[in-house]
Each structure stands twice: as C-alpha cells, then as structure tokens.
Amino acid sequence: MTANPGIIHVGEMIRPLIPHLDQYFGLWAMNPDRMVGMAERIRLSDLGAHIAAVKAQPTTSSIEYQITDGVAVIQIAGTLMKYGSSAADGTSTIQIRRQLRLAARDKQAKSIMLVIDSPGGSVAGTQDLANEVARAAESKAVVAFIEDLGASAAYWVASQATKIYANESGQIGSIGVFAVVEDMSQAAADMGVKVMVFRSGDYKGAGVPGDAITEAQAADFQRMVTEFFGLFSKAVRAGRGMDAKDFAAVADGRVWLAQDAKALGLIDGIKTYDQAVGLAANMRPRRPATLARKEEKAMAENEDGIVGAAEDKPKRATIQELRAACPGADAEWLLAQVEVGATLAQAQTRWSGEQVKRIEAQVAELEQSQKELAEAKTRTPLGVKPVAELADGGSTAAPEDPIAAWNAALEKELATGTSRHQAVININRRDPALREAYVEAYNAAHSTR
C-alpha cells in the first residue's frame, strides 16, 4: 500500500491524520445552531478523502490582505479556530493576528477594516486575537464590518475595534460560552461495559466516555465556562463602553438583526461595504488614555469617528452665555447644560423644546383646574359665589402684564412653603382668568422661537 501523508496506520486499522486535532475539543464561543450543523457535517464526511483533497490543493499565502483607498481589508470568515480548519471551513486566529500586525506597520495602510462573516468558534485563540485588534486600534483605526453574521467569538473580536458597522441583514450577538460533555456511563452499562478511571485527583479524567460525571465535576465544567465568559464580558464591556446592566441585556446568547443591535449598543451603525470602507479611510485611531487626553484639544470626532480640526469643534457654552441665550431658563436647567458640554445652538434648541413641554404641562394643569371649577360650580349651593368670583385675590379680569402678575402670584404662593406644583394648582383654582391670560401672553412672546 502506498504511504499517504494524510493517513496513519495502526495495525490493520487506517485513520485519517488531522492536524491540530486537539483544537476541536474544549470550550466554544459559537452560535449553537451553526456548531451543531458543523459537527454533523464533519461526522458525515469522508475525512480521509477530504484530507487528501486538501493536501493536493496548491498552497497560497495566508497573510495577504488587500488595500482599498488606503484601508487594509482583512477577511474573517467561517469558524474561528486557532490553527484554522478545512473541515470546519475555519479561519485561523493566528493568521489573522499576523495580518493585523503587518497592516499596523504597513505605511500604505492608513486604517484597517475587518470584514467579518463568522458564527464564532473555539475559545482557544479568541482572546489573543481580540487583544491584537485592541493593540492595532491604538495606532490605526480599526473598523469591524459585519457582513451577514458576527456571532459569539466573532463578536468578541469585533468588540475591540474602533467602530463596528453591519449590513442591514446582519446578525449580531450570540454572546456567551458553552461546553458539551456527554455522560456515557449508562450507555456503557447497557452494553455490559464498566469503565474504571484511576485518577490522582477528583477532577482528573472527568468526562472520559463511559465514566459517570459527578456533581462536583459538573460544577467544575461550569466553573470553566463561567471564567471564560468573564473574559468575554470584560472584553465586550471595555470595547463597547457598556455598564453591567447594558451588557446583561445582550449577554443571554440571543442574536439580533442589525437595527436592534444598533439600538442595544452592539454596533455603531448600519452601512454598506463601500460606506464602511469610506468611513475607515478617514477615521482616527483609538489612542491609549494618556495620549487621548493630550489630543483632546487638537482633534474632534463626530459620531462616525471622522477626524476634524480643533477649530471646527463646536465651543461649549459658559453659564453666562447660556443665561443670555435662554431667557427664562432656571439655574438648575442651565447647570445641566454646562455639565453635558452643550453648545449655544444645542442649548437653545433644547430650551425651545423644554418651553414647549412646560407650556403643555401648564395648559394641561389649566384644563384640569377648569374642569374642577366647572364641577365645583355645579355643586355650589344657592347664594354662594363660585371660587373665581371670591375677593381673596381672585379676578375675572386679565391684568395688563399677565406674565408679571402670574410670576408675582407664584412667588407669593412659594413664600408660604408650598411646592411649585401645588402653588400652580392653587393659582389656577383661585384665578383661572389670570392663568389663561398668562398662557396667551407666553405663547405670543415666544411664537417666533
């Protein structure tokens, strides 16, 4: 028999030689449906014929990438595995790391784009690749473009990019880690086989086919899954700037379409491939914190990360400027605008919206008070004057300056220790004519804003 480099002989048995066979075992961060399909495809394959066919194919460079408009485009497709796998249509995380390092040093590449279409893969190698993406993003902008699928370990890697975009039909998420361990002890017993494992410790040899898995061993398998998920969680939260609550909302293993993924903070936007390349070409890198602080005065960044000169960055308004630009705004509201770094234009827009909301609330209160007055009149005994006609400060005639009169009445109420909300109700009930005049005058004064 002619020796076949893809086959090893054991006595009279012939077995296919699978390079790095051990990488197929262990923990996986992968979309479960895709993994089940992959495992079934491998199970039904003629591995000997497959390996022979793969070896017959000409070898090509695994570290090449294209440069488009100054962007080094790196493909990450199929199942992620440390050494790659033809049987699983896999991408080698080691090879991607090499590509990233070359692209980060390539003077022709202004930035890097990872084109991802992957269900995830083995945990082994994923953390290292994610770290490589984060390092590259410190020297050049790295855009992750999810083209149809970026799940589990693939999203783990994408989360370390400067920005993440996806096409409209993209599926994103499946955040989690899982391991499958089969307890074959009953099957062995049914065949009359008793598997005996001689171990130096309670956990050594756990999961050997035919040996019963103890509760302690099961708990230890779960411990490993939990610890690896902790690494996954730490990476995504740091890369996407998520707090524990936001991360918990997306870390239950579900997959979302791009629109929902954007709302949940998993991606930064929905783009086409060409749009993503265009954004990457003009995007600045994510510098380490120490460098970022030094550059804050020199650079500005819009929502897509496009570089802009400092003089183009809108100036934050001071409290004095805000007070002049937003007449009538209370100190608490003005201080809130300063704290969020609002510009004059932003503050004026927000104040206009705030005024509309306040007027609507006041009108609603007026309508409620008028309703209550109308109901009170129907219940007023004969000979008793209605509330609006009482001589305790109420009036049915509109004052010459309704706004000033209203503010004076409000200050008078507040001086008694009454809450602002209750004070408004008291004035509305006592003098609805003043309230109506105030609303009309306020609307007339601000109709041009």
117 in the same domain as 35: yes
Q: Report the pLDDT value the prediction gives residue 305, as an integer from 0 to 100.
A: 44
Q: What is the pLDDT of residues 164-175, one digit of tens each?
A: 999 999 999 989
371 in the same domain as 249: no
Q: What is the pLDDT of residues 241-269, one digit of tens each?
A: 999 889 999 998 899 999 999 999 999 99
Q: Is the pLDDT of residue 58 over 80?
A: no
367 in the same domain as 277: no
What does each C-alpha distance from 260 to 4, 153, 301, 370, 388 come to in angstroms?
51, 19, 25, 44, 54
**Average pLDDT over the chain, rounded to an integer:** 76
Give the contacts of 33 (CB within 8 A, at least 6 positions apart).
Answer: none
86 in the same domain as 178: yes
| Residue 337 included in any domain | no
| Residue 336 included in any domain | no
Residue with tokens 């550059």: 295
Residue with tokens 């061993």: 217
Give the contacts of 191 (CB within 8 A, at least 6 positions apart).
Answer: none
| Residue 294 included in any domain | no
Q: Report the pLDDT value the prediction gives residue 11, as an integer from 0 to 100.
A: 39
pLDDT band at 128 (very low <50, low <70, confident <90, very high): very high
| Residue 343 included in any domain | no
185 in the same domain as 48: yes
Considering only CA atoms, which of 93, 86, 81, 77 is closest in space to residue 41?
86
Please count the structural domains in the chain: 2
| Residue 243 included in any domain | yes
Q: Is the pLDDT of residue 82 over 50?
A: yes
| Residue 301 included in any domain | no
pLDDT band at 30 (very low <50, low <70, confident <90, very high): low
Q: Report the pLDDT value the prediction gives residue 317, as an integer from 0 to 100.
A: 83
Question: Which of residues 233, 250, 282 is at a domain's end?
Answer: 282
Which range has the worst mean pLDDT, 86-100, 128-142, 433-447?
433-447
Question: Is the pTM of the predicted complex or chain greater than 0.85?
Answer: no
Domain carrying residue 404? 350-445
What does each C-alpha distance from 138 to 40, 103, 132, 133, 447 come to in angstroms?
41, 13, 10, 9, 50
| Residue 196 included in any domain | yes
Question: Which of residues 238, 256, 282 is at a domain's end?
Answer: 282
pLDDT band at 13 (very low <50, low <70, confident <90, very high): very low
405 in the same domain as 264: no
361 in the same domain as 264: no
Residue with tokens 């591995």: 47
Q: Is the pLDDT of residue 194 over 50?
A: yes
pLDDT band at 323 (very low <50, low <70, confident <90, very high): confident
pLDDT band at 303 (very low <50, low <70, confident <90, very high): very low
pLDDT band at 15 (very low <50, low <70, confident <90, very high): very low
239 in the same domain as 128: yes
More confident residue, 56 or 369: 369
Sheet holding 28-30, edge to edge: 28-30, 120-122, 79-81, 90-92
266 in the same domain as 410: no
| Residue 313 included in any domain | no
175 in the same domain as 79: yes
Q: What is the pLDDT of residues 197-235, one digit of tens each?
A: 888 888 887 877 888 888 888 888 888 888 888 888 999
Q: Is the pLDDT of residue 319 over 60?
A: yes
Question: Which of residues 229, 253, 282 is at a domain's end?
Answer: 282
Q: Is the pLDDT of residue 311 over 50?
A: no
387 in the same domain as 273: no
CATH number at residue 134: 3.90.226.10
The per-residue b/e assignment along 119-137, b for 16 or more CB within 10 angstroms, e otherwise, is bbbbbbbbbebbebbbebb
Q: Report the pLDDT value the prediction gives residue 165, as an integer from 0 to 100.
A: 97
417 in the same domain as 270: no
